A and B are shown apart, each in its own frame.
Chain A
Amino acid sequence: MTDDQLEDLLVRQGESWRAGQPAAPSLGAMTRLPTPRDARASWLLPALVAAAVLVLVVGTVTLLRQHDPHRPGNPATSTNPTASPAVPVLVPWADLPAPARPAPSSPPGLVDDGVPPEGTKSCQAGDFAATSDAVTPIEAPGAAPWNTGRYLLTVQRVGSDPCAIGGQTPTVNVLDAAGNSLGIGRSSSLVGYSGYELLSPGDVLEVPTKICGTGIASLELRLAVVPEGPGRMGGEDGATVAIPFPGESTCTSGSSSLSHQRVLPAGSLDLLVRSYSVPSRVRSGQRLDYSVTLTNPTSTAVPLDPCPAYRQALINVLKLPDKQGVTRTGELNCAAAPAGVAAHSSITFQMQLGTTGVPAGDRRLVWDWLGSAWTDARGYAEFPTVTVY
């Protein structure tokens, strides 16, 4: 066979392969906004699980809240989780500027790009402890074959100061009794790639994964080091946490994702579950009237003192707000609201947002506490879609 003949053969094989490929996915479909269904799968469910855990954590903590005599209502301060929900509170809209002071916010978890602040400790193996139920089968025995063998690897940050891991997704090494590798895999979650994850003491990392094969004795969860920095996709080195493997497993396919459960202090605004009542359509230039309901699922009141500031926006996630939407900041109408969101209660705030200059098209109505990290594209899926026409 000559070089030309081989060249022809390879060209023909390539053409044949391309002709047999499935149709290319639509770029438009790939860059569409995440749907609420996506959100339930990738974001909301872990968040609800995290919230459930946090309820247990904060349930033992008593919050000393301050009473503001200028406010008309005084929320229940009961820590009795069985207390009846209070009558829903509706707070009218007031156009108040956002204060200059920073809004109370939880420490950042995922940070998309860049390196941690100077002095941030990089997590080492000794910073983590595998809990006693470190490897827990997710599916019950008898589940369909493609759903068996899924395990939840859980490690908890120990120590007294925060540390950071690289944003690269963790590697799970599967080892036999002699310590030889039987396989390797990574979760498929969007952890941050070039960014980092700041882990506070008590924070829990969960890595759902599928473990397959026989002769498995232990697992190694390898977390990337920081800083990786933009443009670096590496991260093979890092903190390695050993996890015993309790039994055999077989499976054929699957993927996994990582969730980071932050430990939030009692009374944190981030403990409030937000829901929205939003019209599905608004004419460009008209005012969008909607409401945000803050529900406190915990047994401890969440104070609105100092009065929280928020950011609202009507934007397309793949186009920048200043060109394709509108962003406004403000402060909640705390003067007309109770001093806080009582345990197992809700407060609904009426909101307004002008749409002057917003071009037609589908937008997400994004609402978040001012100062929180809201630029992660995953989080947009939680927000309602509004069609501007």
Chain B
Amino acid sequence: MTTSELAAGPGADFPDLVAPHWDVLVRVAGRLAAPGSRDDVLQEALALAWRRRGSYDPGRGSVRAWLLAITVDQARSSWRRYRIWHPLADELPAASPDSAVRADVEAAIAGLPRRQRLAVQLRYYADLEVDDIAAVMRCSAGTVKSTLHDARRALRSRLGEDYR
């Protein structure tokens, strides 16, 4: 499956198109979606991608980046829906109490500015490469690296210099 075939529309086999990127989409949805919404986000992202497949422009980015952007948008929407029932919820899953370190790190990440937080989640939790993160955040790879650098500095400050 090539991007030109997708752009052409007719003949495109949608599941084959998505399959190479499915694992990363699952991770991104799992990390960014509101609690309990991962599979709904994936389903909505797939439906939207299928409905929009004819308007995909390969000149604006790869299929992977296109699918990631849709998934991230849907994950963001899941929080908008979630907040009406949980108005104080933040865009991070609740930390599991089984790990004090995990709770500390999650809390520190929760306190980061929005774009730093997104970059950290995509890089370390969703395990995305910098180029993919850049596509999602609609910025350059250099900007992603700079954002991650700032985020790590902020996390060190929040966790404390002696934190191990």
Contacts and interface: CB of A to CB of B under 8 A. Distances in A.
Contacts of A178: none
Nearest to B80: A186
A377 B44 CA distance: 12
Given A1-B162, A31-B14, A13 B105 contact: yes
Chain A interface size range: 35 or more
Interface in B41-90: 42-44, 46-48, 50-52, 54-55, 57, 73, 77, 80-87
Interface in A170-194: 171-172, 174, 182-188, 190, 193-194
A113 interface: yes
B26 interface: yes
B136 to A, nearest CB: 13
A144 interface: no
B87 to A, nearest CB: 5
B152 interface: yes
With a 10 A CB-CB cut-off, give which of A27, A113, A319, A320 has the most chain B CB atoms. Answer: A27
Interface string A138-152: 000000000000000
Interface in A186-214: 186-188, 190, 193-194, 209-213
Contacts of B38: 22
B115 interface: no
A28 interface: yes
A6 B42 CA distance: 31
A184 B86 CA distance: 10
A171 B80 CA distance: 9
A193 B22 CA distance: 22
A185 B84 contact: yes
Given A1-B164, A17-B31, A185-B80, A30 B124 contact: no
Contact of A212 (B51, B85, B124): B85
A9 B108 CA distance: 13
B96 to A, nearest CB: 8
Contact of A13 (B18, B82, B124): B124
Given A13-B105, A184-B84, A230-B55, A377 B125 contact: no
Given A14-B127, A377-B47, A320 B77 contact: no
B94 interface: no
Contact of A5 (B46, B84, B164): B164
Interface stretch (A77-85, A154-162, A252-260, A280-288): A252-260
Contact of B84 (A25, A183, A231): A183
A193 B49 CA distance: 11
A70 interface: no
Interface in B1-45: 9-15, 18-19, 22-23, 26-27, 30-31, 36, 38-40, 42-44
Chain B interface size range: 35 or more
Given A6-B152, A251-B85, A31 B27 contact: no
Given A1-B159, A18-B127, A9 B105 contact: yes
B68 to A, nearest CB: 14
B156 A13 contact: no
Given A3-B152, A5-B164, A319 B13 contact: yes
Interface string A303-344: 000000000000000111011000000000000000000000
B102 A13 contact: yes
A16 interface: yes
Interface in A46-75: none
Contacts of B46: 30-31
B155 interface: yes
Contact of B43 (A10, A30, A182, A185): A30
A231 B102 CA distance: 37
A112 interface: yes
A375 B23 CA distance: 29
A188 B81 contact: yes
B18 A31 contact: yes
A377 B124 contact: no
Contacts of B11: 320, 323
Given A27-B15, A30-B42, A323-B11, A231 B81 contact: no
A75 B155 CA distance: 77
B97 interface: no
A96 interface: no
B106 to A, nearest CB: 8
B117 to A, nearest CB: 12
B22 to A, nearest CB: 5
A233 interface: yes
Contacts of A10: 105, 120, 123-124, 152, 155
- Lowest 3 A-B CB distances belong to which pairs? A185-B84, A230-B55, A14-B124
23 contacts: A1-B156, A1-B164, A3-B156, A5-B164, A11-B124, A13-B101, A14-B123, A14-B124, A17-B125, A20-B96, A24-B26, A25-B42, A27-B18, A183-B83, A184-B80, A185-B81, A190-B44, A211-B84, A230-B52, A231-B52, A231-B57, A253-B85, A322-B10
